[in-house]
Chains A and B, each alone.
Chain A
Amino acid sequence: MHKIWLIIQREYLTRVRKKSFIIMTLLTPLLLATFMILPGLLISMSGEEETVMVLDESGLFENKLESRKDLAFIPLPDLTLDQAKTIYQETDNTALLYIPKMSIEDPKGFVVYGKKNISIQTQVSLENMLEKEIENQRYLASGLDRQTLDKIKADVKITAVNLSNEGEKGNNAIITSIAGVVGAVIIYFFIFLYGVQIMRGVIEEKTNRIVEVMISSVKPFQLMMGKIVGIAAVGLTQFLLWVILSFFAVTAVSAAFGVDAAPSPAAQYAAGQMAAQGGGLEADDPTAMANEPGEDEFANTITDVKQSFASLNIGLIFFSFLFYFLGGYLLYGSLFGAIGAAVDNETDTQQFMMPITIPLVIAFIMSYSIVLKNPDGPVAFWMSMIPLTSPIVMMVRVPFGVPAWELLLSMGLLVAGFIFTTWIASRIYRVGILMYGKKVNYKELSKWLFYRV
């Protein structure tokens, strides 16, 4: 055990002290913060006032077009269109809106003139304003007014509630999905990023020819497990730093730029929540969702989100996340280690990478396409039992509520799975690390399993 501990320390320290690790760890939260703040920042920067001159020959819109923060109107007196154009050319106003003579029943012939292309945004804003005003006038003509109409309009929202043994629980399908998917995404990337690091580490030891020295001091299994555990610790460190730093970076950046961007409070809130879950969350998912409702509904949404989070079994999700995170990593990590041992350099890894990548990718795709829509269906069930796919699929399912026996069976199978892959990997590893200059195929690998060393 002492030797494994030494190996873990070395694997951990040499990686954590690398410049690339430090840079990646610091840069990623900054980038994340930038991407979250940037849209709000850009909108507020491009929000310079646009001024539109209006030539209204119909007289229908006189004093009806109200200037807004970003769009101001300058009404022109009675002029011909040509005169108006000349005047417009001499000013630096954004555009000239021409409203011809028309009736309220048949509004058409609107033209907007600009020196440059008129932006779609401006055009749409103008169209909306004109439409609204025409509608208002038509209502008036038919004896209705806006207020009456608003009273008639209905706005329906459905609150989903789980009737389970523990009593009623509020439920928000979106939040539930997000909690699981985010966990699954993190597991997916973690397995890939750090699994490949295990593989590289083994190849490095082989090409550096240090392996024989090491193996004369420690057992191949100790060397392999030390590496796997050490790199897992590197990954966890990086991940925790990302969660913490992202939180501070987002807070700091939004404070520094004074951006009143809608996304940031929601993002911070979500990030905070997720950090509390330990699962952490790349905070951009909930922002997309939080952006949808109008600003006045924003507060309500936040409350909804809060309630939905409260309704999730945070403890269970957190525990499952940790379990599948480590289980999945150990399962795949040992396989990546075995690949590293079987080849001489990274270019030879392709043929062996395929069978490992495919179950992961399938699990990932299926999670989105099938499991999310039907978290209790047969596909979801079987994929959450098979150890190769369960870390991702089960993670997606857990927030929806999974029967205890299914969860326990899946976890048990995962443990059995990683014991099995670790056994296979250690058999391949002990032969492979001392094997040089030999192109290995699957037949050869299967023989290694039963070599007596």
Chain B
Amino acid sequence: MSILKIEGVSKFYANHTALDNVSFEIPQGCIFGLLGPNGAGKTSLIRIITQITGADSGKIYFKGERLQPGHIKDMGYLPEERGLYKKMKVGEQLLYLAQLKGLSKEDATARIKSWIDRFEIREWLDKNIEDLSKGMQQKVQFIATVLHEPSLIILDEPFSGFDPINANLIKDEILSLRERGATIIFSTHRMESVEELCDNIALINRSRKVLDGPVKEIKDTYKTDTYQVIGNGQLMVTSPDFEVLEQHSNHGIFRASIKLLNNTSPNDLLRYLIQRVEVHSFVELVPSINEIFIQKVKETHHA
């Protein structure tokens, strides 16, 4: 079942079109990558989902119902531009934001307590936000985003501004949130940063959806039956079944990209190679989302 269904959503501003007839679905309980370069329309779409703005046309369904103000309680949104009230204490700020999301004071206090223990920031509770480091502020804001345990969490450029350690902490938290049934939308232009996390993606370019679906399917569609081989010896491919796309050799060690032709299998290639050279490594070259995106964009431009 899909938690969010976007049907033909368009949004126009005075001088440009932010979204042009975008449709896709986000399955429940997945980590969804909303990918695209800067200015593609990702933030516009997120603002429509979070009801900060409205779509000019199209429909959005949240858990099967038309999107309505009551749904806001069930969403958590971490905007790209992070910000908190600087002169407010961490604890008060979390409580305030949680209460605005409809949590009772008691519930909010209990949950804040468990989160600050998990993030080990108890001693920060009575400090003003402005006295915290950037990374700390981001942690606080992440807690504020998920404190009301929304079933849809939207993170815009989630890892920008985090150091690697905190980024991993956040990643772990995101995975454990998914374990507990939440659906997470990542919006980012740095596609490689979320590739391994995402179950599903939608690619957006110039206000249009380019591609969407499960990552595995997409990759299967776009893989090119190319394998990278590293080994020792003189590699000379003469078979018409294999095409060497690229080859380097250094001190007797070669590195080559070989494409399978004529419906041959990887095993055929391996057998062919083993007779001629010493194989150290044999890996399928899977295109990254980035490469798929670039390829797809080129296609649509030529089309």
Judge: A and B partners, yes or no.
Answer: yes
Contact check: which of A208, A216, A447 meets B72 at CB < 8 Å?
A216
Q: Which of B53, B87, B100 contacts A218 (CB 8 A)?
A: B100
Asked if B201 is at the interface (CB within 8 A of a chain A CB), the reply is no
A214 in contact with B86 (CB, 8 Å): no
- Taken together as a complex, chains A and B put the C-alpha atoms of A14 and B133 apart, in Å, by 22
Query: Are A212 and B56 within 8 A (Cβ)?
Result: no
B9 proximity list for chain A (CB < 8 A): none
**B66 CB-CB contact with A under 8 Å:** no
**B144 interface residue per 8 A CB criterion:** yes
Query: CA–CA, A218 to B144, complex, Å?
Result: 15
* A165 CB to nearest B CB, Å: 54
Q: Which residues of A have CB within 8 Å of B83?
A: 208-213
On whether the beta carbons of B72 and A209 are closer than 8 Å, the reply is no
A317 to B11, CA, bound (A): 53
Known A6-B99, A6-B100; contact A216-B50, beta-carbon cutoff 8 A? yes
Chain A stretch 18-45: residues in CB contact (< 8 A) with chain B: 18
Stretch of B74-82, B231-239, B281-289 at the chain-chain interface:
B74-82
B54: nearest residue on chain A (CB-CB)? A453
Interface set, chain A 210-225, CB cutoff 8 A to B: 210-219
A20 vs B85: C-alpha distance in the bound complex, in angstroms?
18
In the complex with contacts A217-B97, A447-B14, A434-B85 CB distance below 8 A: no
A14 touches B56 (CB 8 A): no
Q: Closest approach, in angstroms, between the C-beta of B238 and any C-beta of chain A?
A: 61
- A452 cross-chain contacts in B, Cβ below 8 A: 54, 56
Docked-complex contact A3 and B100, CB < 8 angstroms:
yes
B84 and A217: CB pair below 8 A?
no
User: When the two chains form their complex, are residues A210 and B84 in contact, meaning their CB atoms are under 8 A apart?
Assistant: yes
Q: Does A10 contact B (CB under 8 A)?
A: yes
Give 1 or 0 for each of A181-218: 1 = CB within 8 Å of chain B CB. 00000000000000000000000110011111111111
Bitwise, A435-453 to B at CB < 8 A (1) or not (0) is: 0100000000001000011
Bound-state Cα–Cα, A6 to B103, Å: 12
Q: Which one of B54, B69, B75, B83 has the greatest number of beta carbons of chain A within 10 Å? A: B83
Residue of B nearest to A208 (CB): B83
For B55, give the chain A residue with the smallest CB separation: A452
Contact with B along A89-114 (1 / 0, CB 8 A): 00000000000000000000000000
CA gap between A218 and B141 in the complex, in Å: 17
Count residues of chain B with CB under 8 A from any CB of chain A: 28
Given the interface contacts A208-B86, A447-B14, A453-B53, does A217 sit within 8 Å of B100 by beta carbon?
A: yes
> Which residues of chain A (422-436) have a CB below 8 Å from chain B?
434, 436
Highest count of chain B CB atoms <10 Å: which of A213, A447, A453: A213
Q: Point out the residues of chain B lying under 8 angstroms from A214, CB to CB.
A: 100
Asked if B79 contacts A14 (CB within 8 A), the reply is: no
Within the assembled complex, what's the spacing in Å between the Cα atoms of A200 and B79?
A: 23
Chain B residues closer than 8 Å to A212, beta-carbon distance: 52, 77, 79, 81, 83
Contacts of B52 in A (CB 8 A): 212, 215-216, 434
The answer to whether B100 and A208 touch across the interface, beta carbons within 8 angstroms, is no
Write the nearest CB–CB distance from A339 to chain B, whole angstroms: 20
User: Does B42 sit within 8 A of A, measured CB to CB?
Assistant: no
- Given the contacts A10-B96, A434-B52, A453-B53, A216 and B77 also touching, CB distance less than 8 Å: yes
What is the minimal beta-carbon distance from B85 to any residue of chain A, in angstroms?
Answer: 6
CB-based contact A210/B75 at 8 Å: no
Bound-complex Cα distance A210 to B77 (A): 12
Q: B132 contacts the other chain (Cβ, under 8 Å)? A: no
Q: Name B68-115 residues within 8 Å CB distance of A.
A: 69, 72, 75, 77, 79, 81-88, 96-97, 99-101
B75 adjacent to A216 (CB under 8 Å): yes
A213-B47 Cα distance, complex, nearest whole Å: 11
Fill in one digit per residue for B3-37: 1 if any A CB lies within 8 Å of its CB, else 0: 00000000000100000000000000000000000
Q: A218-B100, A452-B56, A453-B53 are in contact. Are A209 and B82 (CB under 8 A)?
A: yes
The complex places the Cα of A452 from the Cα of B11 at a distance, in Å, of 10
Nearest CB of chain A from residue B284's CB, rounded to whole Å: 42
Q: B99 near A213 (CB under 8 angstroms)?
A: no
Q: A214–B81 Cα gap in the complex (Å)?
A: 12
Cα A214 to Cα B141 in complex, Å, equals: 12
**Shortest distance between the CB of A440 and any CB in chain B (Å):** 13
Which residues of chain B have C-beta atoms less than 8 A from A447's C-beta? 14
* Closest beta carbon of chain A to B202's beta carbon, Å: 20
CB proximity of B270 to chain A, nearest CB, Å: 53
**Contacts A216-B72, A452-B54; A6 near B14 (Cβ below 8 A):** no
**Interface positions of A from 278 to 337, Cβ below 8 Å from B:** none
Name the residue of chain B whose CB is nearest to the CB of A212.
Answer: B79
Residues of chain A contacted by B14 (CB below 8 angstroms): 447
Which of chain A's residues have a CB closer than 8 A to the CB of B141?
213
Please tell me if the beta carbons of B85 and A210 are within 8 angstroms of each other in the complex. Answer: yes
Shortest Cβ distance from A218 into B: residue: B100
Chain A nearest Cβ from B247, distance in angstroms: 50
Chain A neighbourhood of B77, CB < 8 A:
212-213, 216
Cβ distance B188 to chain A, nearest Cβ, rounded Å: 17
**Taking each of A7, A208, A453, which has the highest tally of chain B beta carbons within 10 Å of its own beta carbon?**
A208
Chain A residues lying within 8 Å of B53, measured Cβ to Cβ, are 434, 453
**Once the chains are docked, how many angstroms separate the CA of A202 from the CA of B260?**
62
Residues in A whose Cβ lies below 8 Å from that of B87: 14, 18
Would you call A209 and B81 a contact (CB within 8 A)?
yes
Query: How many angstroms between the C-alpha atoms of A434 and B84 in the bound complex?
Result: 15
Among residues of A, the one whose C-beta sits closest to the C-beta of B12 is A452
Residues 40-58 of B contacting A (Cβ, < 8 Å): 47, 50-54, 56
Q: A209-B82, A211-B83 are in contact. List 10 more A-B contacts (CB 8 A).
A: A205-B85, A208-B85, A212-B79, A213-B141, A215-B52, A216-B50, A216-B51, A434-B47, A452-B56, A453-B53
List 20 contacting pairs A-B, 8 Å CB cutoff, sorted by A. A6-B99, A7-B100, A209-B79, A209-B81, A209-B83, A210-B84, A210-B85, A211-B83, A212-B81, A212-B83, A213-B77, A213-B83, A213-B144, A216-B50, A216-B77, A217-B97, A218-B100, A447-B14, A453-B53, A453-B54
A residues near B (Cβ < 8 Å) are: 3, 6-7, 10, 14, 18, 204-205, 208-219, 434, 436, 447, 452-453
Which 6 A/B pairs are nearest by Cβ-Cβ distance?
A209-B83, A212-B79, A209-B81, A217-B100, A210-B83, A216-B77
- Using CB atoms and an 8 Å cutoff, list the residues of chain B in contact with chain A: 14, 47, 50-54, 56, 69, 72, 75, 77, 79, 81-88, 96-97, 99-101, 141, 144
